[in-house]
Amino acid sequence: MTSGQIISVIEMYEDLFRKALIPKIRMDPKRTFASLSNKEMLAHAHFLTDGVKQFAKDPEKRRKTGSHLTAIQMCLSFANWYTLEELMEHNRRVMTKGPPL
């Protein structure tokens, strides 16, 4: 995925977070993901979106961009917002046809 494609997926998620009134809150790094409520997990995913958009602009941070995108998508799946298949489709769709649905 190009930087623009990654940002397109992230902006879709940001819009969903805003509409669901999910705040941007970093999780306590001493906690596990399994100990988080869905709301806390989604708040952390929303928190990560700013970093992904910033990292995507820097070719030297390509790996970090991908890692953060993966973390966001895992949080979305763990919170039962999307299945793995749906998340994979977001990535495929943006690479082939434009913004995800």
Which of 95, 66, 74 lies closest to 32 in space, CA to CA? Answer: 74
Please state the domain extents for the chain.
Answer: 3-26+36-94
Express each pLDDT in 8-60 by its tens digit: 999 999 999 999 999 999 999 999 999 999 999 999 999 999 999 999 999 99
- pLDDT at position 99 over 60: no
Query: Nearest CA to 86 among 8, 2, 3, 9?
Result: 9
> Does the predicted model carry a pTM greater than 0.85?
yes
Model pLDDT, residue 14: 97
- Per-residue pLDDT of 58-98, as tens digits, reads 999 999 999 999 999 999 999 999 999 999 898 887 766 65
